[in-house]
Amino acid sequence: MAKYHDLVRLARSAAERAARYIRQVPRPNDPRLWDKKGQHDFVTSVDREAERLITEALTEGEPGSVVLGEELNPEAASGDLVWVVDPLDGTTNYLHGYPQYAVSIGAVVHGELAVGVVADIARDLTYHGITGGGAWCGDRKLQVSTIHEPALALIGTGFPFRTPPDIPRYLRQFTAIMTTTSGIRRAGAASLDLVDVALGRLDGFWEMYLAPWDVAAGTLLIREAGGVVTDLSGASDVVRHGSIVAGNGQMHVWLRATLDRS
């Protein structure tokens, strides 16, 4: 546990360093400065510099550790300590000045998710947690929602914009959830969507396809806040490319069953 406290302090320092940089640097609002890394998916020099700053801080603080990151090193997935980093989750939001984007850092120690940090850049808030130590924002302990009735629930989601062939299935899922809950929200930054589940703002969340750096930190925060995170099949290993379903215990069961039938 003591080692995990050291790791979370290092991750918080690295995340907040990158968040300060992103807040201070001029936003590249000229689309000619945006590089397209996939369908409807962009990257800029800001993403790359933020990841460089994070990588430098993490590897200097923990020599020999490995950084798994979307921009610099998307394939490095092995090592005793692997940092799973999204330097700017919600790049499209950032580019448009929509205030929902974050830095996300998870730590996987000997194959197990151990630490999670999400820095909400626009609001200057940092969420952190360690396995067995709870999830926190400053001195505030995070706790998932206690709403168990679907008709009262607010559910978050993400669109399958990278995989258009999945849209018909997703629309069936969307219809099933929309017609049985009080609402659906899609804000466009998965790390902050997962934080909202950990905070109890959202009662559940699902998305058909995310990457490890999208979910590592947020998954730990939800679990430490008393929630459940799996993929659509119910597997608990979600720090990989694939689906995710999250919520408090009862909402997770209902959400996964409803999605499975759709």
pLDDT in tens, 243-253: 999 999 999 99
Residue 184: pLDDT over 90: yes
Number of domains in the chain: 2
Domain encompassing residue 215: 150-261
Domain boundary among 141, 169, 199: 141
In a shared domain, residues 204 and 226: yes
Q: What is the mean pLDDT of residues 230-235?
A: 97
The pLDDT, as a whole number, for residue 90 is: 94
Residue with the bigger pLDDT between 180 and 43: it is 180
Residue 99: pLDDT over 70: yes
Residue 190: pLDDT over 90: yes
Reported as a single tens digit per residue, the pLDDT across 22-58 is 999 888 777 766 665 544 445 678 888 999 999 999 9
pLDDT averaged over every residue in the chain:
92
Amino acid at 259: L
The pLDDT, as a whole number, for residue 45 is: 82
Residue 74: pLDDT over 90: no
Rounded (10°) CA dihedral 147, 206, 45, 59: 80
Domain boundary among 118, 141, 164: 141
In a shared domain, residues 17 and 103: yes
Residue 233: pLDDT over 60: yes
Angle at 186 between CA 209 and CA 135, to 5 degrees: 80
Maximum Cα–Cα distance across the chain = 51
In a shared domain, residues 98 and 226: no
Distance of alpha carbon 123 from its chain centroid, rounded? 16
